[in-house]
Amino acid sequence: MNYRAPHIITEGTVQYELGSLKGREIHYDFEKMLVYLEAKGKLLFGKKFKIYHEDRDIIYRLCLYTIRDRKRCEQLGIDTEKGILLSGPVGCGKTSLMKLLKCMVPHQRPYAVIPCRNIVFGFNHLGYKVIHDYGDAQFYCFDDLGVEPDGVHFGQECNVMGEVLLSRYELFMDSKRKTHATTNLNAQELEERYGNRVRSRMRELFNLIAFHKGSRDKRL
Q: If we measure between CA atoms, which residue out of 101, 48, 71, 104 comes closest to residue 209? A: 101
Give percent of the chain with pLDDT exceeding 90.
85
Where does the pLDDT of residue 3 fall: very low under 50, low under 70, confident under 90, or very high at 90 and above?
low
Q: Looking at per-residue confidence, does 99 or 5 come out higher?
A: 99
Sheet of strand 140-145, all strands in order from the earlier edge strand to the far edge: 112-115, 140-145, 179-183, 83-87, 206-210
Q: Looking at per-residue confidence, does 88 or 23 come out higher?
A: 88
What are the pLDDT digits (tens) for 42-92? 999 999 999 999 999 999 999 999 999 999 999 999 999 999 999 999 999
Average pLDDT, the chain: 94
pTM beyond cutoff 0.85: yes
- pLDDT, average across residues 191-198: 95
Domains of the chain with CATH codes: 8-210 (3.40.50.300)
The pLDDT value given to residue 157: 96
Instruction: Provide the 8-state DSSP code for 153.
Output: E
- pLDDT, average across residues 172-198: 94
